[in-house]
Amino acid sequence: MGKVSLAHGSGGVETSLLFRQLILNHLPDWMKTLNNGLGLDFPDDSAAIPVPGGYVVTTIDSYTVSPIFFPGGDLGKLAAAGTLNDILMLGGKPVAVLDAIVVEEGTDMADLYRVVNSMISVLREEGVRLMGGDIKVMPSRQLDGILITTSGIGFASKLIVDKNIKPGDKIIITGNIGDHGAAILAAQQKIQTDEFRSDVAPLTRLMIPLIESFSDSIHAARDPTRGGVAMALNDWARSSDTTIVIYESELPIREPVVNLCEMMGIDPLSLASEGTALLAVHPDQADQVISLLHELGYREAKAIGEAREKTSSLGLVVLKTVIGGARILEPPSGEIVPRIC
């Protein structure tokens, strides 16, 4: 069966295949969900359990970024924001987090304090409780630095489920593409410049107003982290049995990110964003959603494409190029940027 590679953790094709072969293929249907909620029957970054009045939304994730301090954030901020965002993307309001921290022997205590304080600061600012956790220490060279695992809990009156995308839905992005991935890549390559800064941030102030105002019109939401916009859109096309068309001319990618990707041979659409959301919105409400996003301070928000009727046996993503052509946007494969989140 070969060996586990870094590609298996990059969020692309290899990750999806490993998850299916390692877990999904071995589970009977009754183990994939609870009480007709949402679980591994429709895999997402969160799961939901029905309760009176709505759903308990829960998520779990591990964070292992390298370096642990990067322009725009650090491992602690990343863990807190990522956990909250996963709950928000399913339509939930985050209420509590639990954490488990594993530290390498010899780690500077000041670095550990800085990371944990950063995580707590994000949760405090968002009004989310930290209700439990654990800490372990591994011998030197048996772990690289610090690993944080978080579990989040929230509540949703109505779920946002990716499979509900309909032909005609507008695909909206709320900010620039690939800023987090570019910041990590530049830091790993020791590129000294102020051009790259992670967008890592909780999306509570974005998603809660959208959920309150447009709960019936938002058919899907995803934060394009590992695997980037390319993986998120391919997941959507497959789960909803649609063809998703996006327009290269409308993609908000900063020029320094484009230049770095060209230099490193990486598609910016496969780079992670940690403070940006993708939305699939009913076409009649798309303009109003974008207007609200602009009012909330997300000035880069715009429509980048739409969902259409499926044109093949599998859902596809088609990129309309600036020169008038079209190509299939494949899900990313290989070692995109290791240890990115």
Dump pLDDT digits (tens) for 262-300: 999 999 999 999 999 999 999 999 999 999 999 999 999
Q: Tens digit of pLDDT for each residue in 293-317? A: 999 999 999 999 999 998 777 789 9
Name the token pair of 209.
Answer: 């107003």
Binning pLDDT at 50, 70 and 90, where does residue 1 land?
A: low
Entry pTM:
0.95
Closest of 40, 38, 64 to residue 49, by C-alpha: 38
For residue 138, is pLDDT > 80? Answer: yes
Name the token pair of 83.
Answer: 């956990």
Q: What's at 17, amino acid-wise?
A: L
- Pick the residue with more confidence: 37 or 315? 37
**Fold held by 32-156:** 60s Ribosomal Protein L30; Chain: A; (3.30.1330)
CB 218 within 8 A of CB 278: no
Angle at 66 between CA 132 and CA 332, to 5 degrees: 100
Run of H or E residues at 183 = helix 179-188
Quick one: pLDDT at residue 45?
A: 86
Q: Among 16-30, 111-125, 178-192, whose mean pLDDT is lowest?
A: 16-30
Domain boundaries, the chain: 32-156, 162-328
Those residues whose C-beta lies under 8 Å from the C-beta of residue 135, and which sit 6 or more positions away, are 100, 101, 102, 103
Quick one: pLDDT at residue 96?
A: 98
CB 243 within 8 A of CB 315: yes
For residue 144, is pLDDT > 80? Answer: yes
Distance of CA 22 to the CA centre of its chain: 22
CB 174 within 8 A of CB 206: yes
Cα gap 222→146, rounded to integer Å: 27
Q: Tens digit of pLDDT for each residue in 176-229? A: 999 999 999 999 999 989 999 999 999 999 999 999 999 999 999 999 999 999
Cα gap 127→93, rounded to integer Å: 11
CATH architecture for the domain at 162-328: Alpha-Beta Complex (3.90)
**Stretch 163-178: mean pLDDT:** 97
